[in-house]
Amino acid sequence: MQKFTAEVKVGLFVVAAIVILAYMTVRIGDLTFGREKGYIIYGVFDSVAGLDVKAPVKMAGVEIGSVETIGLTDSRAKVGMRIRQDIKIKKGVVAAVKSESLLGEKFVEINQGSGDVFLREGDMIEISVSVADIDTLITRLDSVAKDMKSISGFFSETLGSPETKRSINEIISNMRNLTSSLAKVAERDSSAIERVIEGLDEMIALFKDVAEENREPLRNVIVNLEGISNDLNVIAKENKEPLKTTVANLYQVSEDLKERTPRILEGVDRLVEGVEKGEGTVGKFMKEGGLYDKLDSTLTGVDKYISAADRFTLNVGFRGEYLFDEDDTKGYFSLKLQPREDKYYLFEVIDDPQGRVKVTDTEVTMTPGTTVKRHEVKREDELKFSAQFAKKFGSVAFRGGLMEDTFGVGADYYLNDDKIKASLEAWNFGGDADAENPHMKLTASYTAFKALFIRGGVDDFANSKRTSAFAGAGLSFDDEDLKYIMTRLPVTLP
């Protein structure tokens, strides 16, 4: 058997070493031969400091690819990532540059999107997040450290003096005594404290229920208070000098009162002594019971009158209705007086473009001995008046009285907290020259905002020759709105 020479053994060892070295290089360096598998997607980041080519790309902590290219686009870092072919990434994905640890290597974390379309070769990730690098964090920490040092220096200067230390010791001693006293009170009156806590719990539950039931009114109150505060802020800015003058005058008045208070008190003492003796008008009133009873009765009547006036509301409205078949607009001015929620009085002035009926009968001679009668009916603009009384029963209200200069009746049906209203009206039961049936009108209205409403319907649908659809809008102000508007009007006194 032929033996291997030393040269052959050395050669075989060198070849084996080269093969092992090549394998380790390919394995550790993650080298591939031929075209790499997978597809490339791109992400744009503000900063990728510390991120290198071949850095891993992970999803839920599992490596799904690697960084293949890093470049610039519009002063931002554009990173190309090769993703394994078996991994499907949905649109809406979020990419973020993260660190394995505080000093670890960087990698790209992919958070799967929620769309139904998958990213393909060359697509761009829409959302990307860049984390702060170590230098930025160190700079921020240094700034925080400086602030903490200045704060500690302030407290050291403030609390380092003997007077401050003595004051702090006294405060601590007082707090110790206070807590000791509270502990004794709690032990002695524990049952009373429990009753107080139970009462507070019930009160809090009650307030919570009230807040839940009145959430919208409370929100409106907050909005109104915000508006009032803004108005007061504007008024204060516009009247800064007058306010300063007013404050100075109030200060002067307070000084004058301080000087005059002793004399005023002496006069009050003399007045009280006279009243107790029955001297003067007030003294006689206090001594004689009949005068008191009369005054009490008078005040009771005044209180009833004021209460009724408080319940009374006034509403002013304007509206226009465009009649499509007549190609003209009908205008209304209304005044609504409502003493109670279930009844009101309605007064209206109507500008009716077809209000006055003028009938003309003429005879025209066509040929000698032949005449033709002509019957012409013309309608002219006229002002009309309405005065109605309405009574409401739940969601339905019935009206009656004068409607556009004739007797009429009507009914209203309210929906959605009175924002939606459907109405049916009928008047002019005697008819006129070109209308045999009563004038009937069907209307639907919707209050879009607090003072603005829109309406539409069919007018005079009982008379086919005069039936017309209409649409319109209007404004409605109650007495509180009128007070607000009047206070905002610019008024110049002579």
Residue 473 has pLDDT above 80, yes or no: yes
Computed over every residue of the chain, the mean pLDDT equals 78
Residue 2 has pLDDT above 60, yes or no: no
Give the end-to-end CA distance of the chain in Å, rounded to a whole number.
138
- pTM metric for this prediction: 0.38
Residue 247 has pLDDT above 90, yes or no: no
**pLDDT score, position 8:** 75
Q: What is the pLDDT of residues 356-389, one digit of tens each?
A: 666 666 666 666 666 666 656 666 777 888 999 9
Q: What is the pLDDT of residues 316-355, one digit of tens each?
A: 888 988 888 878 888 898 988 888 888 899 999 998 877 6
**pLDDT score, position 468:** 85
**pLDDT score, position 79:** 92
**What is the average pLDDT across 403-421?**
89
**pLDDT score, position 492:** 47
Q: Which region among 62-71, 74-83, 400-409, 479-488 has the lowest average model confidence (pLDDT)?
A: 479-488
**pLDDT score, position 494:** 42
**What is the average pLDDT across 156-168?**
74
- Residue pair 440/462 in contact by the 8 Å Cβ criterion: yes
Residue 59 has pLDDT above 80, yes or no: yes
Token couple for 376: 């012409």
Q: What is the pLDDT of residues 415-467, one digit of tens each?
A: 888 889 899 998 888 767 667 788 888 999 998 877 788 899 998 888 877 78
Q: Report the range out of 20-34, 237-251, 304-318, 324-338 with the highest average pLDDT.
A: 324-338
Residue 102 has pLDDT above 50, yes or no: yes
**pLDDT score, position 351:** 86
Q: What is the pLDDT of residues 105-117, one digit of tens each?
A: 889 999 887 778 8
Cβ-count burial of 322 within 10 angstroms (0-12 exposed, 13-18 middle, 19+ buried)? Answer: middle
**pLDDT score, position 388:** 93
More confident residue, 313 or 375: 313
Q: Are strands 106-111 and 56-59 parallel, antiparallel or unpaired?
A: parallel
More confident residue, 493 or 305: 305
CATH pick for 313-486 out of 2.40.128, 2.60.60, 2.40.10, 3.40.50:
2.40.128
**What is the average pLDDT across 244-273?**
77
Residue 151 has pLDDT above 60, yes or no: yes
**What is the average pLDDT across 292-311?**
61
Q: Which region among 109-123, 289-303, 304-318 has the lowest average model confidence (pLDDT)?
A: 289-303
